[in-house]
Structure 1
Amino acid sequence: MRQMVMSETLWSALLRYRETGTLPAARLRAEAGWQLYAPLVAHGAERVAVAQVGQSLDGRVATPAGDARDISGADGIGHLHRMRAMCDAVIVGVGTVIADDPSLSVRAVPGRSPVRVVVDCNATMPAGAQMLRDDGTPVLLIRAADAPASHARGTDEIRLPRGPAGLCPAAILSALAARGLTSVLVEGGARTIARFLEARLLQHLHVAVAPLIIGSGPTGLSLAPVERLAQAHRPEISTYDLGSDMLFDCRLAEATPAAAATRRTRSDEHRPEA
């Protein structure tokens, strides 16, 4: 297990790497924070898709009544906001918007907020959602081609064909990449994350565990059932002590576009060091 210590120097180096691709000195690339966050960045034609779940010790992400705001501690929230700052776009399902009304900003850290992307298949996005009146960061709605006409103030939309299970996760990522949004964080809810995971489109799944037991309530993932443990996902993991929370960085080897920054930061030594 590695202790996560994020200095201003390292965070500035990560932000510069995100914007310019410039690698910092080797001593910074050896730090836990670099190993954790640099793989979230995409440059050029590369694509990176990662997901984040913040949960209790017993795997809950909210109480049965829907209270989810204080599950992650301060360090878990800081981690989530750093993930957002490293990515071009953050995806949530419209159910998460309705239930939690998130802003999806990077309030807890310096950096640029990602484009907010809402998978809103049937055009049910609430007109009063917090993200629509937050800080001016673009909001992009992904809707079925046959969904009712609706255009929420301050948003743009992408129309995609409706399939038997709704909108295709691969088509969503391709549509975002066509707009230059190639590094994507899938943040919720449970079924939205599961659809990207089951489609083998994620390179990393971050599971942040907070030291509390809720006892009942919704879980952070909702995957199709398996009959045998041999069918379960068994990713390679690295663990990080964030402080208030414990983080499992699950590397999903089956994901197909797996080139991104971990491999690049080990081989791109021709780029200038800061």
Structure 2
Amino acid sequence: MPPLADDDVWRRLLAGDVPGADDVEPGSSAADLLERYGPLVAAGSPLVLAQLGQSLDGFVAARTGDAVFVTGTEDRRHLHRLRALVDAVVVGVSTVATDDCRLTVRAVDGPSPVRVVLDPRARLPPAARLVAGDGPPVLWCVADSAAAGLVAAPGVDVVPLPTTEGAFAPAAVLAALRGRGLARVLVEGGGRTVSRFLAAQALDRLLVTTAPVLVGDGVPGLRFPGADRLADALRPPARRFALGPDTCVELDLSALRA
């Protein structure tokens, strides 16, 4: 049989079927697709991923909050592939308010995930494109104390959750999603949300794309309580691949827990 083309590989990955290395031509773009996303599909469910795009000096946006765009076109295409491979994509409400993101799959073929907004104080902008009513379902996670009397837009389901010091425990968020059959989850942003899931050891894989740009001062990416000694810093198994001028590093955090 002839080697599989890019579209063939991608369709099979979307269907949960990982082709063998012998099915693609070595060094081809189809082989790159298989190498990048095959392990994520093969990992099965449940699976919790997180993704960040940042500058070389570790910022995800300028000091004004402007994040258009830190990384390049190939990384955004990569992000849409990740969305297509999960059941739900999670963001904090500040990301919605700042970026007015849609969180849908547009740059590649594939299904759009359920969109989840973490919003303890119920500050979701009513004019956000996310709640325009013409996309995938939205789960609006709010604090128990803020849920009473909330009126949600069509296609938006209010999910009351307990809070601790004004924030949701990542384990509580994931349990609520799995209770709805959403076992493959992508935590997309922003930096504080991803950092909270990382600090709670709730992530299986962390993918960080670094762009060759210096911001100088801005919104930081990962921040979590670290070790006092570098010898005790997190050093999980890593994979690296190029996305145009950017570099993506995938960390297998599940290996540390194992």
Bucket of the pairwise TM-score, normalised by the shorter protein: 0.7 to 0.9
Structure 2 Cα separation of the partners of residues 246 and 51 of structure 1: 16
Structure 2 Cα separation of the partners of residues 87 and 124 of structure 1: 26
How big is each residue's C-alpha offset from its partner over 1:59-98, in whole Å with a ceiling of 9 and x where there is no partner? 1111111210121111010000000000100000111111
Structure 1 Cα separation of the partners of residues 217 and 109 of structure 2: 35
Which residue does 2:224 correspond to in 1? 223
1:40–1:50 contact (8 Å) kept in structure 2? no
Amino acid paired to 1:27: D
Amino acid paired to 2:46: R
Q: CA deviation at 1:237?
A: 0.8
1:97–1:125 contact (8 Å) kept in structure 2? yes
Equivalent residues in 2 for 1:202-241 (5 A)? Answer: 202-241=203-242
Moved more, 33-42 or 241-250: 33-42
Which residue does 1:271 correspond to in 2? none
Residue identity over aligned pairs, in percent, reads 44
Query: In the comparison of the two structures, how many residue pairs are matched?
Result: 247
Structure 2 Cα separation of the partners of residues 235 and 169 of structure 1: 21
2:142–2:161 contact (8 Å) kept in structure 1? yes
Structure 2 Cα separation of the partners of residues 84 and 38 of structure 1: 15
Moved more, 54-63 or 178-187: 54-63
Equivalent residues in 2 for 1:237-248 (5 A)? Answer: 237-248=238-249
Alignment of 1:124 onto 2:123:
yes
Equivalent residues in 2 for 1:42-121 (5 A)? Answer: 46-121=45-120
Which residue does 1:27 correspond to in 2? 22
Structure 1 gaps of 5+ residues are 1-5, 259-274
1:132–1:153 contact (8 Å) kept in structure 2? yes
Amino acid paired to 1:77: R
Using the size of structure 1 for normalisation, the TM-score is 0.83
Greater RCO (Cα-Cα under 8 Å, separation 6 or more): 1
Structure 2 Cα separation of the partners of residues 192 and 181 of structure 1: 19
2:18–2:42 contact (8 Å) kept in structure 1? no
Amino acid paired to 1:197: L
1:51–1:202 contact (8 Å) kept in structure 2? yes
Alignment of 1:169 onto 2:170:
yes
1:40–1:83 contact (8 Å) kept in structure 2? no
Equivalent residues in 2 for 1:139-150 (5 A)? Answer: 139-148=138-147, 149-150=149-150
Distance 1:193 1:28, change over 3 A: farther
2:72–2:246 contact (8 Å) kept in structure 1? yes
Distance 1:67 1:58, change over 3 A: same
Structure 2 gaps of 5+ residues are none
Amino acid paired to 2:60: V
Q: CA deviation at 1:166?
A: 2.0
Which residue does 1:188 correspond to in 2? 189
Alignment of 1:151 onto 2:151:
yes
Distance 1:132 1:251, change over 3 A: same
Structure 2 Cα separation of the partners of residues 62 and 127 of structure 1: 24
Using the size of structure 2 for normalisation, the TM-score is 0.88
How big is each residue's C-alpha offset from its partner over 1:163-212, in whole Å with a ceiling of 9 and x where there is no partner? 23521111110110111100000011111111111111111100111121
Amino acid paired to 1:110: D
1:95–1:189 contact (8 Å) kept in structure 2? yes
